[in-house]
Amino acid sequence: MKDELKIKFWGVRGSHPAPGPGTVKYGGNTACVEITAGGRTIILDAGTGVIPLGRELTRRAVQEKRPLELTLLFSHLHHDHTQGFPFFAPAYFPGARLHIFGPGGTPETLRQVLERNQAAETFPLSLRDMPAAKTIESVRDSQVLVWDDEGIWAGEPESSVGPGAAAIRIYKSHAHPGGVYVYRIEWRGRSVVYATDTEGYIGTDRKLAAFARGADLLIHDAQYSEDHYRGQLAGFPSTQGYGHSTATMAAELAAAAEVKRLILFHHDPAYTDDRVAAQESAAQAVFPSSRAACEGMEIKFQPEVGALFRNFSIAKPKPDFDKRRDGSKI
């Protein structure tokens, strides 16, 4: 349905894929979440979960005989969040249009990283061999991405935008090596916050709590159990400072931010289904509305009553994403 906000999980593991009989319930693919906001498709990260999602998106487009347009947001550029992109079917679909955003020191950084990932020495097909129309640009954490009937554009938080648009706000967390973008997707009074690869602080990350305040859904990193994190789990080193949270840290953040629901994400690849279930129980002891993410899980929200009649503020001239920065056509 176009009149709903839908979240679907396609990859929920961290670090590397974890196939096998011990991960059947929660799944073994790395990070990828699909968000559908009023019929617009937004993808969070391109771990190996983006591979089956890509096949499904192209199947839908062919079946429904409609153009394929989507936005892909990278939280950061570590391998487990980019490794599925070279196998992403819509990128090979000539009629598809991809808007790709993520962090980087310059607007070109993201494109350069994706090009290196598909260099001739490491992959048989280059980024240029993918025939879909692609806009690839690094954005700043002070910007807001807006997707409305005129397209998707990057602006600053001022000025008026219609209530049917999807807005994507960005917070840069430094609680992960190299930094990571946390995204907040807002649509018709509903909001989802995606906070993967972030490590909790004593007393919680207050800036992140403020960014996530009141969200309908918080998807938060919960890679480690408390004993694993502290180096008290036999066979595992301490992971303090690795840039990942425990389930308890995620639950404490959810409570501090007063969100409605928490989804534990980025499960450690060494954890069996039983260990992930234990993570869920640990979070529920602190924040009862907690669940561990599993592949195929879907969550849906209807628009908030009255949201159609509200405007929100964003401003900046809309760039022409049909052209490169030098003016040439993509």
65-95 confidence digits (pLDDT tens): 888 999 999 999 999 999 999 999 999 999 8
Cβ count within 10 A of residue 270: 17
Mean pLDDT calculated for residue range 158-179: 85
Query: What pLDDT does 305 receive?
Result: 61
CA distance 282 to 277: 9
Which range has the worst mean pLDDT, 252-261, 263-272, 300-309, 310-319? 310-319
Residue 208 corresponds to which amino acid? L
Structure tokens at 86: 């070279």
Task: Tell me which amino acid residue 81 is.
Answer: H
Calculate mean pLDDT across residues 2-29: 96
139 phi and psi angles, rounded to 5 deg: -120, 160
Closest to 14 measured CA to CA, from 241, 268, 200, 237 = 268
Packing angle between helix 273-286 and helix 247-257, nearest 10 degrees? 30
Query: Among the listed ranges 5-19, 147-161, 286-300, which one has the minimum average pLDDT value?
Result: 147-161
Q: What is the mean pLDDT of residues 11-23?
A: 97
In the structure, what pLDDT confidence band is assigned to residue 164 with cuts at 50, 70 and 90? confident
H-helix or E-strand containing 162?
none
| Joined tokens for residue 47 | 């771990």
Say yes or no to pLDDT of 325 above 70: no
pLDDT in tens, 257-271: 999 999 999 999 999
Q: Which pair of tokens denotes residue 125?
A: 């097909």
Domains of the chain with CATH codes: 5-300 (3.60.15.10)
* Cα–Cα distance measured from residue 264 to residue 253, given in angstroms and rounded to the nearest whole number: 12
pTM comes to 0.91
Residue 314 has pLDDT above 60, yes or no: no
